[in-house]
Amino acid sequence: MKRRLFTAFSCLLLAFIPAVVNASGAREANTDRRLEIFSWWTAGGEAEGLEAMFSIYRTRYPTVSIINATVAGGAGSNAKAVLATRMQGGTPPDSFQVHAGHELIDSWVVAGKMEPITFIFRDNGWLESFPKGLVDIISYKGEIYSVPVNIHRSNVLWYNKKIFADNHLTPPRTLAEFIGVAESLARRGITPIALGDSGIWASVHLLESVLLGTMGPARYKGLWMATTPWDGPEVRRALKTFAMLLGFVNADHAALSWDGAVQYVIDGKCAMTIMGDWAEGYFKAKGLTPNKEFGWVPSPGTEGSFIALSDSFGLPRGAPDREAAVQWLTISASREGQDAFNPKKGSIPSRTDGDRSLYDEYQKSAMDSYKSDIIVASVTHGAAAAEGWLALIQDTISTFVSDRNVDKAVTSLTKAAAQYTKK
């Protein structure tokens, strides 16, 4: 009886322990335990998706406070440098967003900065719940090193349905049609393509779609394996097309972020944009419905191919609260976590058993394509090449966007490839 009274009293007491308010305004339990999750998800859709997973964590572990450590800047354009400084300085967060593939393995795992987390998959019986191809690119020497929380598609063209209907246009399926549609929009005084490359990655993102659309999946894969030359006719052709497309983008592209560019499509300031399907999360966060106000097609020339990338979370060595980090990773790997996160994020679950009924029309189409298309890796988002190689590509494209000099770009892209591939 005494014991029961005591329990009731402690519950009452707990109810009055003051809560603190975190940066995002959410109330957290006031305890010493903290789970710091580092990411660059600050825009509409991505922030909501992250919050949906936080909410599961809070319900399960109410005594741990979540620190939502975000550094704004699409594709980690600012976050990655901040993370590198922290990792080098021995002050890692408990877990951080990292792209599956080269970004994870080359940058962090080989350098000995991560703990293997195969046990999370094994202990929960999840070793078979993820596609083998994906497990391969998060593994090193037989151990798994991160939890892939989604699959994103990079090669998508999004368009404003009203502009297309008003101008009797159909979304372009080939690169030639893309230029044709852009020309007719420009003639009518409408800026055809929205680009927000204040982080140069957004231009590289557009280029990867153009490379694939120009040469097809087998030759595109060869770019990363030294079987397709960077100084051959296809890359030249792709760069010429890319230069033409740059002639149709909004004048303020260098001052705009990726979500700013998507907003231009929403506002009717531009007719279309090529962006990964986190754009879908953004459209929805702004209250739009797929296939009502906005439509999509594979980036021109890429039908039948799926440029894939995956956001994942890992366990850095020296995570301040390892136990909380493992709890977070377990939620990220779970069906419940993925089905809370991805419907808002615009991506599809990386698990093969996600609940399809929770996903919208666009996402169902992405699920189908992921099953039937040829999968190739995104270079812009860490899957296809080492970060050092990507940095050299970004430098080249940064210059190319202003000088449009194909020969110069070919020379420097070829040099970059030679540094990172063995013939």
CB of 122 to ligand GAL, least distance (A): 27
Among 74, 92, 213, 316, binds ligand GAL (CB under 6 A): 74
Please name the amino acid found at residue 156. Answer: V
Q: Which stretch binds ligand GAL (CB under 6 A): 29-37, 71-79, 221-229, 299-307?
A: 71-79
* CB nearer ligand GAL, residue 151 or residue 235: 151
Q: Which stretch binds ligand GAL (CB under 6 A): 55-63, 74-82, 212-220, 314-322?
A: 74-82
Among 58, 80, 102, 152, binds ligand GAL (CB under 6 A): 152
* CB nearer ligand GAL, residue 171 or residue 276: 276
* CB nearer ligand GAL, residue 75 or residue 271: 75
* CB nearer ligand GAL, residue 76 or residue 354: 76
Query: Please, which residues have CB within 8 angstroms of residue 415's CB and are 6 or more apart in sequence?
Result: 392
CB of 346 to ligand GAL, least distance (A): 9
* CB nearer ligand GAL, residue 300 or residue 382: 382
CB of 135 to ligand GAL, least distance (A): 18
What CA–CA distance (Å, rounded) separates 192 from 282? 20
Among 41, 178, 224, 313, binds ligand GAL (CB under 6 A): 41
Number of residues that bind ligand GAL (CB under 6 A): 12
Containing 313, the helix (H) or strand (E) segment is strand 311-314
Among 381, 394, 410, 413, binds ligand GAL (CB under 6 A): 381
- Binding status of residue 278 toward ligand GAL by CB under 6 A: yes
CB of 160 to ligand GAL, least distance (A): 20
Containing 83, the helix (H) or strand (E) segment is helix 79-88
CB of 399 to ligand GAL, least distance (A): 22
At residue 168, what are phi and psi to the nearest 5 degrees?
Answer: 50, 45
What CA–CA distance (Å, rounded) separates 324 from 64? 8
- Binding status of residue 46 toward ligand GAL by CB under 6 A: yes
What CA–CA distance (Å, rounded) separates 225 from 20? 51
* CB nearer ligand GAL, residue 334 or residue 380: 380
Q: Which stretch binds ligand GAL (CB under 6 A): 68-76, 120-128, 132-140, 290-298?
A: 68-76
Distances, alpha carbon 218 to alpha carbons 57, 206, 227, 355, 358, in Å? 42, 19, 10, 32, 34
- Please give the angle made by the CA atoms of 271, 272 and 275, to the nearest 5 degrees: 155
SS3 assignment, position 251: coil
Q: Which stretch binds ligand GAL (CB under 6 A): 40-48, 213-221, 320-328, 405-413?
A: 40-48
233-272 binders of ligand GAL (CB under 6 A) = 258
Report the half-sphere exposure of 66 (CA within 13 A, side-chain side). 26
Q: Which stretch binds ligand GAL (CB under 6 A): 39-47, 187-195, 212-220, 320-328?
A: 39-47
CB of 353 to ligand GAL, least distance (A): 22
Widest CA span in the chain: 85
CB of 325 to ligand GAL, least distance (A): 20
Among 66, 75, 104, 308, binds ligand GAL (CB under 6 A): 75
* CB nearer ligand GAL, residue 230 or residue 282: 282
Distances, alpha carbon 74 to alpha carbons 46, 198, 301, in Å? 10, 9, 25
What CA–CA distance (Å, rounded) separates 80 from 107? 11
DSSP codes of every residue in 140-176: ETTEE-EEE--BEE--EEEEEHHHHHHTT-----SHH
CB 322 within 8 A of CB 38: no
- Strands 311-314 and 95-99 come out as antiparallel
* CB nearer ligand GAL, residue 97 or residue 228: 97
Containing 86, the helix (H) or strand (E) segment is helix 79-88
At residue 329, what are phi and psi to the nearest 5 degrees?
Answer: -65, -35
* CB nearer ligand GAL, residue 230 or residue 278: 278
Please name the amino acid found at residue 271. Answer: A
Q: Which stretch binds ligand GAL (CB under 6 A): 70-78, 157-165, 171-179, 229-237?
A: 70-78
SS3 assignment, position 295: strand
Interface residues toward ligand GAL, by CB under 6 A: 40-41, 46, 74-76, 152, 258, 278, 309, 311, 381
